[in-house]
Amino acid sequence: MRHSIGQRLSRWLLRCHDLVGTEISLTQEFRAEMLGVRRTSVTIVAMFLQRAVLIGYRRGHVRLLDLDGLRDSTCECYVAIKAHGSALLTATKA
């Protein structure tokens, strides 16, 4: 199954949130490389997420404003990836 750029960006931002918090300092070029898409595609999707008041975006800085809304805009993979990551962390602590 293929996911849209919007779903993939939302999932990626949520995973970043899980690791570093609501303030994410990364360029659009880096996010584009992480998603395997053009920078202009990330710009368009980020603008859509910003208009929906899910994120706040300012040159190289993203602030996650509505985590529930981002979860709704991603795919089921986010929950699976988060659960797998939590299981790995629990296993390494044991």
Indicate whether 84 pLDDT > 90: no
Is residue 83 domain-resident?
yes
Say how many domains are in the chain.
1
Predicted confidence band of residue 58 (pLDDT cuts 50, 70, 90): confident
Say if CB 55 and CB 70 are below 8 A apart: yes
Is residue 94 domain-resident?
no
Say if CB 84 and CB 46 are below 8 A apart: no
Is residue 29 domain-resident?
yes
pLDDT of residue 94: 64
Indicate whether 74 pLDDT > 80: yes
Structural domain for 43, as ranges: 5-89
Q: Name the phi and psi angles at 81, rounded to 5.
A: -65, -40
Indicate the helix (H) or strand (E) that contains 24: strand 23-25
pLDDT of residue 64: 95
Percent of the chain with pLDDT over 70: 98
Is residue 16 domain-resident?
yes
Rounded to the nearest 10 degrees, what angle do helices 39-51 and 28-35 cross at? 110
The CA-CA-CA angle for residues 20, 34, 86, to 5°, reads: 45
